[in-house]
Amino acid sequence: MRVLVTGAAGFLGRGLIVPFEARGDMLRLMDVMPFQSRHEVVVGSVADLDVCVRAAAGMEALVIAHMAPRTPGAYDSPTAGFDINVKGTANLFHAAVQHGIKAVVVISSTSVFDRHKQEPHPHDLPLQPLGYYSLSKACQELIAETFAREHGIRVACLRCGYIMDGDANVDKYGHVVTERNPPCTDRRDIGEVARLCLERPDIVYETFNVMSAEESLTLFDVRYTCERLGWKPKYDFHWLRTPKPKGPA
């Protein structure tokens, strides 16, 4: 399969492509910053429609994994988050239509239902964002659903938890993680779910919660993801200790 991956130079992108590499897919990797890879590289901003159209040419599938950096103050206003997360996603779906791409995965976030207080959290929980970051991720899902409905693109939105690398036990900021929590999500597990979604012709538009820790099977309805896609998390973080229960205040 010929797959364009955006945000490919970032922490998530570098791990997400591993399952695709293992299956021998032809990858085209896109990021705003120059980077080295054995795959074809496109350097440019997803906020530039012409760049997106050129990057999508000849591709069969698309994984939208870019995100405006969550640096201090970045989401105090809608500027960066909406220009990259929202406009960039719309540009890529527009490019997909132009090139006849029929399978897209959007890397979303559990933040899209930040205002929900219920537990457990089903995989199809309605959008209730809180703040500019989660609003931008919710807008990505709305764009995805619209293009799926209007243009017949098969779309899966992956609502991922706390993204980590299970070998190094670090998160995207380089922080070492010592405790296992339900949202822990290995970046390669995300890639494997994305790969499986692209290969499923019966997906129309669907949302999947994607987390790796065993506790997420029930708390975040990850069992649905496993059963629907025939997937099992490879990096379940069983080697990390569970948090100690909080005592009375």
Write down the pTM of the prediction: 0.95
Dihedral sign from CA coordinates of 36, 42, 44, 47: negative
Do the domain assignments include residue 243?
A: no
pLDDT digits (tens, 9 = 90+) for 191-215: 999 999 999 999 999 999 999 999 9
Do the domain assignments include residue 70?
A: yes
CATH code, domain with 17: 3.40.50.720
pLDDT of residue 80: 86
Do the domain assignments include residue 61?
A: yes
Residues in the chain where the model's pLDDT stays below 70: 244-249
CA distances from 240 to 169, 182, 210, 233 (A): 9, 12, 19, 15
220 closest CA partner among 145, 96, 119: 119
Q: Determine the Cα–Cα distance for residues 28 and 39; give it in Å rounded to an integer.
A: 6
Residue keyed to tokens 């029929």: 102
Domains held by the chain: number: 1
CA distances from 151 to 4, 78, 95, 148, 158 (A): 19, 28, 12, 6, 20
Q: Determine the Cα–Cα distance for residues 64 and 117; give it in Å rounded to an integer.
A: 28
Do the domain assignments include residue 140?
A: yes
pLDDT of residue 249: 44
Domain span at residue 156 reads 2-229
Do the domain assignments include residue 81?
A: yes
Q: Determine the Cα–Cα distance for residues 37 and 35; give it in Å rounded to an integer.
A: 7
Do the domain assignments include residue 120?
A: yes
pLDDT of residue 245: 61
Do the domain assignments include residue 101?
A: yes
Gyration radius of the chain's alpha carbons: 17
Do the domain assignments include residue 175?
A: yes
